[in-house]
Amino acid sequence: MDFSRNNLAGKIPMEVGFLVKLIALYVGQNSLIGAIPPTIGNLTSLEDFRVLNNNLEGHVLDEIGCLRSLRVFEIVANSLSVSPSISKANNDFCLETKQMFCAIALSKLY
């Protein structure tokens, strides 16, 4: 599902976790706020999740690390921090001076 650049505002709804067959979710370049909901961990088929260029904040939860199919996770230009368990498992963060991190190369997690 591609909702990029649609002037979306508000929080990512918890109900997104009901879309268990979802393979890709693009919500980048909107005005989303709040945290990534923990129900994202229910999306076991998710391969590509892009939330770049929003106003998200909080922690990238351990639930992201449980998504075995996830290959692309773009979070650049948000105020998100990484859970210590994900940080330890992954040495491929793209560190930048102006951003906390850009994308996580998840293939090393498994």
Domain boundaries, the chain: 9-109
- The answer for 18, left when phi > 0, alpha when psi is -120 to 50, beta otherwise, is alpha
Mean pLDDT along residues 10-32: 96
Q: How far apart are CA 48 and CA 90, in angstroms?
A: 17
Q: Which two tokens stand for residue 31?
A: 């005005």
Block residue for tokens 């102006």: 98
100 forms bridges with which residues in the sheet?
none
Residue 14 CB neighbour total at 10 angstroms: 11
Residues 31-84: tens digit of each pLDDT = 999 999 999 999 999 999 999 999 999 888 777 777 888 888 888 889 888 765
Residues 92-106: tens digit of each pLDDT = 433 332 333 344 444
User: pTM for the complete prediction?
Assistant: 0.75
> Which fold is adopted by the domain 9-109?
3.80.10
Closest of 103, 92, 7, 13 to residue 50, by C-alpha:
103
